[in-house]
Structure 1
Amino acid sequence: MSLLKTARRGLARALPTVRNITTLESTSTGSCPNLRDEFRLPRNFDYRVWFPMHMSVQMKKMEGKLRSVDLIVEVHDARIPVSGRNSTFMKQFCSIRPHVLVMNKMDLINLKKYRQPIEDYYRHEHGVTNIIWTDCKRRYSRALSGMQNMILDILTHEPRFNRSVKTEFQIMVVGIPNVGKSSLINTWRSINMGTKQSAVIEGARPGVTVRVQNRVRVLDKPPMYVLDTPGVLSPSTRNVNEVMKLALCDLILESATNPRYVADYLLYWLNRSGDYSYLKLLEIPGNPTDDIDKLLIRICTEKDFRVRCLTGLTYEDRWDFDRAIALFIKLFRKGIIKDCCLDRDLLRPYMD
């Protein structure tokens, strides 16, 4: 049984009935909650469980393809520009081949506030200067054209790496799961080839691509091909905060985490950031709280989220915590919350 199913069954048993729940609502009169010093998960919850076998196997296959690859395009989620990166890419791929870093999902952060600090961070900490900002879901041709021109310029001026005669170019697209690698390829191909048909499978969940794909032609002159690769995580180097940031950005399968823990981390992060806008966005009265159960009860109460449960021989109304959790997390994933950059503390040295 998955961790998610186990947690949901436990939650259903623990939920009070609707008629007995009003006493649990927050009665705090302070303007700020008593904040936790740090975010903690239950001791028996292993956050390193999601590292499917295909990841390690496909990483080796990706390494085997490097001999025929001219350039690496690393796609990254702009909401976690520092903590979400897989350091293995830089060590094993980007140090061997020319490299372009694509910050995707730029529409989900305050670009005016974070673009320069993020670029300064990568320039000072990693020597990375080839950075492109995109939102592949909206198919911005301007950003993709800029990326393509940058790639062609790099390939023209970089050493050939054991490729004496060059009649075509081959690009490898890498990144952690669900950052938009397949969307980038399909958009790139659509703009250049004039077709809306997807060449590689894409989806709104991590783990859609599970193996290194056949190459896809994205440009005729000069001939340019792209290899789509599966998202690869390295959980051995992750701490609790990094893993929860990945889960909050929907970069880890929910079956490997637990939506309640993800919602709890979002609440913790918002309160630590001094952002209490979730109360207004959720249209719930009262003061902020740092207790996820109290917040979920208030959401259920205001939205009248109920579910019918069989208890013994009769049915009872219980609050639908699953629905409340989904609504709360949606505020972040859809960019409804005004500031969705989870690494703002890590970028502070580079901000004015």
Structure 2
Amino acid sequence: MSKFVPRQSFPLSNVVTSNFQRHHRNALQKMEALRGDVDLFIELRDSRAPLATRNKMFDHLIGARPRMVVYTKKELSFFTEEMAKKLHPTSPHALIDCRSHADVTKLLDHWRDLYRSMSPAPPLGMRVLIVGMPNVGKSTLLNHLRERGTDKKARVQAVGGMPGVTRKVSGIIRVSESPSVYAYDSPGVFLPKVQDPEDMLKLILIGCVPQTIIDPVILSDYLLYRLNLLYPNGSAYKDIHGPTNDIDDILSAIWRKRFARKRKGNEVDEKAAALNWLDQWRSGGQGRRKLKLLLDTLPESYDPLLR
């Protein structure tokens, strides 16, 4: 039997890039009104797509104000601190799991140190504004910041797995008592237009954009393409099928395993199977196995050690 060889490219001719010119304009205007009161901007990016989830609109919003880039969902990504340092050799950054007590505490400690270094220190406490694309973890981080910094466990922001859960710039919330640090949450702000069709696929796959924009079978095929690059022995989906470049193999196997007994007839519903597979991966993998992704091609990102 010949050795399995993953595809090295993916056809993008059927991928439509949508225009979001009118979206989130109101939120940006409210953020701009707060800019003078903010001591530190925290820009969140999803570490599974660290380049695609950068929003250049924040460069204009933040300007010369202090900024820290925080890469979230490290537990689901191959993105490493060494890679982050290559992107930010001299500027503050962090790579975190938003639900990790250790990571959240380290982030809070950095902000507290920054507060103590300010001269004069803000008499009413330091204020941070958390920004980012939709569904990169802003509200999850804010809830855990508040819990770790103030010992209050009540959830202050709704959390969801799809974009658009936070609808407006929130009121200010205390996330540290000594010294006083306050944070604003904000709705996710998407790019006015996505130029690269592959970036659109990445953003839909990780939940920054509603998946209704793209046929789920095409999106599943892109996921298979990426999984084969990262796991060329097919281990990412070994419970479903052997190594393959054909998405029909995967979707047919999913249908037989998860749907066939509940539905009449032998015809495979590829859309239902594709949505099921995408939902599993968007939440982190196959059942209890939390397998990692890295959708952006970075230096050393496909190093054999990562496999």
The TM tier, using the shorter chain, reads: 0.7 to 0.9
Aligned-partner Cα distance in 2 for 1:105–1:157: 29
Deviations 1:77-132 (A, max 9, x none): 11112222112223431x42211222211111246xx2212222222xxx42x222
Residue 41 of structure 2: which of 63, 72, 85 is its match? 72
Query: Which protein has the bigger helix share?
Result: 1
Aligned-partner Cα distance in 2 for 1:177–1:256: 15
Residue 39 of structure 1: which of 11, 22, 25 is its match? 11
Q: Which has the larger radius of gyration?
A: 1
Q: Is contact 2:83–2:298 with CA below 8 Å preserved after alignment? A: no
Letter in 2 for 1:143: D
What are the within-5 Å matches in structure 2 for residues 40-189 of structure 1? 40-42=12-14, 46-49=16-19, 51=20, 53-93=22-62, 95-110=63-78, 114-123=80-89, 127-128=90-91, 130-136=92-98, 138=99, 140-158=100-118, 166-189=123-146
Aligned-partner Cα distance in 1 for 2:266–2:84: 48
Per-residue deviation at 1:67? 0.9
Letter in 1 for 2:284: K
Greater CA deviation, 57-66 or 328-337?
328-337
What are the within-5 Å matches in structure 2 for residues 217-228 of structure 1? 217-228=174-185
- Counterpart for residue 293 of structure 2: 340
Aligned-partner Cα distance in 1 for 2:239–2:275: 12
Alpha-carbon RMSD across the aligned residues, in angstroms, is 3.0
Q: TM-score, normalised by structure 1?
A: 0.75
- Counterpart for residue 23 of structure 1: none
SS in 2 for 1:236: coil
Aligned-partner Cα distance in 2 for 1:191–1:34: 44
Q: Taking structure 1 as reference, are residues 159 and 264 closer, same or farther at Cα in structure 2, changes over 3 Å only?
A: farther
SS in 2 for 1:65: helix
Q: Is contact 1:72–1:100 with CA below 8 Å preserved after alignment? A: yes
Per-residue deviation at 1:158? 4.9
Per-residue deviation at 1:258? 3.1
Q: Taking structure 1 as reference, are residues 305 and 331 closer, same or farther at Cα in structure 2, changes over 3 Å only?
A: farther
Q: Taking structure 1 as reference, are residues 304 and 184 closer, same or farther at Cα in structure 2, changes over 3 Å only?
A: closer
Q: Which segments of 5 or more consecutive residues in structure 2 lack a partner in the other structure?
A: none
Letter in 2 for 1:195: K
Letter in 2 for 1:90: D
Deviations 1:52-80 (A, max 9, x none): 84512211221121011111111221111
Q: Taking structure 1 as reference, are residues 282 and 305 closer, same or farther at Cα in structure 2, changes over 3 Å only?
A: farther
Letter in 2 for 1:135: D
Aligned-partner Cα distance in 2 for 1:144–1:34: 38
Deviations 1:11-66 (A, max 9, x none): xxxxxxxxxxxxxxxxxx65336836433142xx63215x3845122112211210
Aligned residues between the structures: 300
Deviations 1:123-142 (A, max 9, x none): 2xxx42x2222212x3x222
Higher relative contact order (CA 8 A, sep 6+): 1
Aligned-partner Cα distance in 1 for 2:250–2:200: 23
Aligned-partner Cα distance in 2 for 1:156–1:304: 58
Per-residue deviation at 1:307? 6.3
Q: Taking structure 1 as reference, are residues 281 and 97 closer, same or farther at Cα in structure 2, changes over 3 Å only?
A: same
Letter in 2 for 1:328: W
| Identical residues among aligned pairs (%) | 25
Per-residue deviation at 1:333? 4.1
Q: Taking structure 1 as reference, are residues 86 and 158 closer, same or farther at Cα in structure 2, changes over 3 Å only?
A: farther
Q: Taking structure 1 as reference, are residues 348 and 248 closer, same or farther at Cα in structure 2, changes over 3 Å only?
A: same
Aligned-partner Cα distance in 2 for 1:110–1:316: 41
SS in 1 for 2:267: strand
Per-residue deviation at 1:338? 4.1
Per-residue deviation at 1:144? 1.6
Q: Taking structure 1 as reference, are residues 224 and 324 closer, same or farther at Cα in structure 2, changes over 3 Å only?
A: same
Letter in 1 for 2:82: Q
Q: Taking structure 1 as reference, are residues 159 and 233 closer, same or farther at Cα in structure 2, changes over 3 Å only?
A: farther
Does 2:210 match 1:253? yes
Q: Is contact 1:98–1:158 with CA below 8 Å preserved after alignment? A: no
